[in-house]
Chain A
Amino acid sequence: MALLQIAEPGQSTVPHEHRLAAGIDLGTTNSLIASVQSGAPKTLLDEQGHDILPSIVSYQEGSTLVGNTAKAHSVSDAENTIVSAKRLIGRSLSDIQSKYPSLPYQFCGDENHPEIVTRQGNINPVQVSAEILKSLNERAEKTLGGELTGVVITVPAHFDDAQRQSTKDAAKLAGVNVLRLLNEPTAAAVAYGLDSGQEGVIAIYDLGGGTFDISILRLNKGVFEVLATGGDSALGGDDFDVAVVDYLVEEAGLSRPLSPSLERQLMQQACTAKEQLTSQADVELSLTLDDGQKWASSLTKETFEQLIASLVKKTLRACRRSLKDASIDAADVIEIVMVGGSTRVPLVRSEVEKFFNQPPLTSIDPDKVVAIGAAIQADILAGNKPDSEMLLLDVTPLSLGLETMGGLVEKVIPRNTTIPVAKAQEFTTFKDGQTAMAVHVLQGERELVDDCRSLARFELRGIPAMTAGAAHIRVTFKVDADGLLSVTAMEKSSGVESSIEVKPSFGLDDIQITQMLKDSMNNAKADIDARMLKEQQVEAARVIESIQAAIAQDQHLLSADETQIIEQVIKTLADTSQGNNADAIEAAIEKVDHATAVFAERRMDSSINKALSGQSVEKL
């Protein structure tokens, strides 16, 4: 290490290096990837010049197709071609089967880990999403000319914990480093907000293929504060199609179950009809039935609007609730931003306009706005804009709580709480000599356990035997900036600590992910080892760089001895990371983390003090 490094406060000593980063809109129907290039966010194109990648993966003999090539198989080979996997991700089997009864797939696996039977074997929805992410990542590396530092992946704002965790798992499977999971409406607000420099309250109405989000945000000098968010994780343009399909099934006198290919044909006809009815008064429809007969009919715009009216109304109810949660009147909203392909439906636009009493904004392509916002955030998180004033303050979409006596849910973190957040609640034993306690974590707004989403169950054991009510069990909920929850429980009255960390029971555990990674690689063992080593080396380089920058900036917070100790562990880490032992590098990183803990805390306290003392000077 250099003897002396001179730098202005707040300035990195490392010469400016542009890190490649991208924003990914992992949509139900379509996905996109965008990146900031020469200061402007742009969507990236594939070799055919398309930016939209249909979110479809087809499992063929010996090959896995993604996007348009997969789409070609969606009718003829519906069982092996997975569309809208986002609707399945992080959901239980019974949930999927009750919400989407006419899917053309054959499901297997257990209740919490449903899988789809394909000719390539059983496929988890997380793997389907991973294929899409992999394809987009390859496109970006080709276009941008190098490996990405990381990506921001967008998720619907009201995605629950299991759905978020599964999205992150998909990225892990795809070998993509996630800088942040970003809520789709917040991403759209960033895309618009940075353009217009507006201040005030805005509403984002995001109706995608399979999901609906409404977010109310306050914009103030680069700060995007989400006041409230709401929506429906199973309501979108696909449901408009389903309404049309059900109508057609009835009109054509068909009875279910239908063959998978006829179901797919109906969905495609319905989707085309919906798109054409944005500019036409009626459309012609034709079907080839299973017996080879043709059936033809027409659909008017009026009938279509009757079919979807109740669905549109449902979105407005969510708008009303979110405004109320935010304590905002519809009249106080200065702008409404429309996001998602389904906002092209004229009835949606006119109803939203009526509700907010002003025409909504559609100046950025509703299909691209989310990816563009994500790209802007990715560029900042990657460290390309150290002077950026932008800050996103997002919220938890759903309340988090615990099961209490009588099958009731006690809320620990209410919905629309700004994240990150940590909240603790104390409980006690209700029997003499009780040594264990069951903890059941739930997500949702309803009072009864059965009406909420069960996220995890675990048992706290080893509570010292005491009389009923004497033990103090502290359960702590933490939600990080990605909106992901972790729960710990601890018995504290006797000084005996017993704590446990839980991950949601849905989705995949680390062992399953490693197994899937192995399965996906031809030369499994060697490939995986190489990847692990590479990951640790990248992490080591990041740690070294950030600590050297920290020392250059804040050496005055360390004594000479402390500086020497830190420099020593950094040197060890630098040496170790030259080698090829991933575990040793990981251990060396841990040592550095340990040795720099106090320094990191001092830096935080010092910058906090500086921030507010600067403010009081301003006031004077």
Chain B
Amino acid sequence: MNYFQLFNLELSFVLDLNSLAHSYQTLQKTAHPDKFAHASSQEQLIAVQKSAEINDGYQTLKHPLTRAEYMLTLRGVEMANEQQSFSDTSFLMRQMELREMLAEVKFADDIDAALEAAQVSLAQEYQQHLVLLTEQICENSEASNVLACDNLRKLKFYQKLNIEVERLEDSLFDD
């Protein structure tokens, strides 16, 4: 049973997050260990396993990047691993620029404005890639799946940059 089946949802990248959340809560009301606090330890054990599986499924489907990766895996598409080299040099150049931009925030005259500007650029570029990813996943051809993998990798770069931004924010505002 895949996660879409578990949550009684159609196998589609575009999904209604509200019905996902609703199914999630309905399932947890059935399987959560709290519902088995008075049952045998055998049933408690199964409740913990099932409840953990439901949590994992919910997290996987809720976020677009993990959902995309999960769907590509279901389709049997081979993911490139992190060590594999990346051929898109213009993308890598852009990543370097963004990293420099973040590194310079703390030297700006107006730190708040500089941080805000960096966040806006990041969010815009992330969004562009996400729109593209949605199209590629929905097309579901051999060629589009390969492109989707490549694009997913790029989106993960942005995800890492967002973590950098959070660290930067903490270091700037934690006096």
Q: Decide whether A and B assemble into one complex.
A: yes
Interface status of B94 (Cβ within 8 A of chain A): no
Cα-based distance from A422 to B27 in the complex (angstroms) = 17
Interface segment among A38-46, A59-67, A435-443, A592-600: the answer is A592-600
Residues from 532 to 569 in A contacting B, C-beta threshold 8 Å: 542-543, 546-547, 550
Chain A residue total in the interface (Cβ 8 A): 51
Of the residues B8, B27, B40, B166, contact of A547 by C-beta under 8 Å: B40
Interface status of A118 (Cβ within 8 A of chain B): no
Cα-based distance from A281 to B59 in the complex (angstroms) = 51
Residues in chain B near residue A223, CB distance under 8 A = 25, 28-29
Residues in chain A near residue B49, CB distance under 8 A = 422
Residues from 311 to 336 in A contacting B, C-beta threshold 8 Å: 317, 320-321, 324
Of the residues B26, B42, B48, contact of A612 by C-beta under 8 Å: B26
Residues in chain B near residue A601, CB distance under 8 A = 46
With A417-B59, A612-B23 as known contacts, state yes or no: A389 contacts B29, CB within 8 Å: yes
Question: Measured between C-beta atoms, what is the minimum distance from A253 to chain B in Å?
Answer: 31
Of the residues A220, A600, A607, contact of B25 by C-beta under 8 Å: A220
Residues in chain A near residue B43, CB distance under 8 A = 546, 550, 600, 603-604
Residues in chain B near residue A383, CB distance under 8 A = 37-38
Residues in chain B near residue A324, CB distance under 8 A = 166
Interface status of B32 (Cβ within 8 A of chain A): yes
**Contacting pair B46 A600 (CB below 8 A):** yes
Of B31, B51, B166, B173, most buried by chain A (CB within 10 Å of CB) is: B51
**Contacting pair A608 B30 (CB below 8 A):** yes
Of the residues A150, A321, A389, A592, contact of B40 by C-beta under 8 Å: A592
Residues from 375 to 412 in A contacting B, C-beta threshold 8 Å: 380-383, 389, 391-393
Question: Measured between C-beta atoms, what is the minimum distance from B54 to chain A in Å?
Answer: 9
Residues in chain B near residue A592, CB distance under 8 A = 40, 42
**Contacting pair A392 B29 (CB below 8 A):** no
Of B42, B50, B51, B174, most buried by chain A (CB within 10 Å of CB) is: B42
**Contacting pair B52 A179 (CB below 8 A):** no
Residues in chain B near residue A596, CB distance under 8 A = 40, 42
With A381-B38, A391-B32, A593-B40 as known contacts, state yes or no: A420 contacts B55, CB within 8 Å: yes
**Contacting pair B40 A604 (CB below 8 A):** no
With A389-B29, A480-B33, A611-B29 as known contacts, state yes or no: A422 contacts B56, CB within 8 Å: yes
Interface status of A421 (Cβ within 8 A of chain B): yes
**Contacting pair A481 B48 (CB below 8 A):** yes
Cα-based distance from A542 to B42 in the complex (angstroms) = 12
Interface status of A363 (Cβ within 8 A of chain B): no
**Contacting pair B31 A546 (CB below 8 A):** no
Question: Measured between C-beta atoms, what is the minimum distance from A558 to chain B in Å?
Answer: 14
Residues from 138 to 186 in A contacting B, C-beta threshold 8 Å: 150, 179-180
The binding surface of chain A is classed by DSSP as helix
Interface status of A616 (Cβ within 8 A of chain B): yes
**Contacting pair B50 A604 (CB below 8 A):** yes
**Contacting pair B40 A419 (CB below 8 A):** no
**Contacting pair A611 B174 (CB below 8 A):** no
Cα-based distance from A320 to B26 in the complex (angstroms) = 31
Interface string of A116-151 (1 = CB under 8 A from B): 000000000000000000000000000000000010
**Contacting pair A180 B31 (CB below 8 A):** no
Cα-based distance from A477 to B165 in the complex (angstroms) = 29
Residues in chain B near residue A523, CB distance under 8 A = none
Residues from 125 to 157 in B contacting A, C-beta threshold 8 Å: none
Of the residues A221, A597, A612, A616, contact of B27 by C-beta under 8 Å: A612
**Contacting pair B40 A481 (CB below 8 A):** no
Cα-based distance from A393 to B27 in the complex (angstroms) = 12
Q: List 21 A-B contacts (CB under 8 A).
A: A180-B37, A223-B28, A381-B37, A391-B29, A391-B32, A417-B59, A420-B51, A421-B55, A422-B49, A423-B56, A480-B48, A481-B48, A550-B39, A596-B42, A600-B46, A604-B46, A604-B47, A608-B30, A610-B30, A611-B26, A612-B26
B→A interface (CB under 8 Å): 6-8, 22-23, 25-35, 37-43, 46-53, 55-56, 58-59, 166, 170, 173-174
6 smallest beta-carbon distances between A and B, as pairs: A381-B37, A383-B38, A481-B33, A611-B30, A593-B42, A612-B8
**What would 15 more interface pairs be, CB under 8 Å, given A221-B25, A542-B40, A608-B31?**
A317-B174, A381-B37, A382-B38, A383-B37, A389-B29, A391-B28, A391-B32, A418-B59, A422-B52, A478-B48, A478-B52, A600-B40, A604-B31, A607-B31, A611-B29
